[in-house]
Homo-oligomer: A and B are copies of this chain.
């Protein structure tokens, strides 16, 4: 195997930093393409933390200031795993420095920032990716293939939820390595950008653009301690829950909901799509299963089929183990990384780029605006 190296600089060593590190390693081992992911530099503000992370995950070097990465000639890809407030500056800086850029979702704090990023990407002509990893649950990709193959006919309905329960406690602080997601300044929005972005990305991938929506958001716990200043209570300005009703361009209608207050739900990114000829359901909590109702089945024996997606003829599954052994959340990142590497080899576009991320960002922004104004709003997508 004489693969070309893709030299990567990872910025951020939190949950997503670990996930991406794991993904690059798995992509190299389980997938074969002309390019290998070379885990060159990891960047963390805290030098000690960075070194520990590098040791554990096999990054060759550490860095404490992301700006210094931009000048290095030996970096091909900047991978952004830091809070949303930093996405724009890093991405645009990296693009201007001639790097490819991958960023965690959501694309940015808001669609205005997203627009700047998309423009910078267009100007630089460099490849970008937004890590909408959840498209790459093999059951979701299989649904995409089957829908494209005509499994549904005319679509009537799309309904989706992304349910978690980890912020129910009033003791959860605001800010810090996990809880920056509760801080509007760092995160831009709450569950809309953090969770619903995934759900919307999958929805629009499977069912086309959302053209109009009406939304409702809620903040259930209005004040929380600041992690960096426990003596004071800070107002919580993110959305704890976000709902909307939508019209899709194809004439179907949908409902969406995300929350971190659904007791018992941990990572329930779920969708159901209903068409004339069939329906699909998925729930990320049982991540190797796709449920399918095929109206074309023999009339006597119709029903909801649970397709365990683990056969080698199903998406991504020829790269892993054997039937009976499904993949989970972590592997979706490996799929994304492998797709990126494959794109480099043949110039195709398997991965969603900044422009795709911006579409979802626009819907997220429209949700927040609609909730604020209490009225139906168009997204401008079509």
Contact = CB atoms under 8 A, between A and B. Distances in A.
A285 B328 contact: no
Given A1-B56, A164-B324, A243-B255, A266 B157 contact: no
A204 interface: no
A102 to B, nearest CB: 20
Nearest to A320: B330
Interface of A: 1, 15, 19, 22, 25, 29, 52, 55-57, 142, 145-146, 156-157, 159, 161, 163-166, 168, 214-216, 218, 220, 241, 243-245, 247, 253, 255, 257, 259, 261-268, 272, 274-279, 284-288, 290, 292-295, 297, 299-308, 310-311, 313-314, 321-330, 374-376
B305 A263 contact: no
Contacts of A164: 324
Contacts of A261: 156-157, 274
A19 to B, nearest CB: 8
Contacts of A1: 52, 55-56
Contact of A279 (B262, B308, B324): B262
Given A19-B321, A303-B306, 5 more contacts: A15-B322, A243-B255, A264-B278, A266-B323, A267-B323
Given A253-B241, A324-B329, A303 B305 contact: yes
B292 A301 contact: yes
B299 A311 contact: yes
A257 B220 contact: no
A52 B2 CA distance: 11
A285 B308 contact: yes
Given A1-B56, A299-B313, A243 B245 contact: yes
A288 B275 CA distance: 25
Contacts of A156: 168, 220, 241, 259, 261-263
A255 B313 CA distance: 33
A295 B263 contact: yes
B305 A301 contact: yes
B308 A266 contact: yes
B218 A262 contact: no
Nearest to A256: B255
Contacts of A375: 374-376
Q: 6 shortest A-B CB distances, which residue pairs?
A: A267-B324, A264-B293, A266-B324, A303-B307, A305-B305, A156-B261
B313 A300 contact: yes
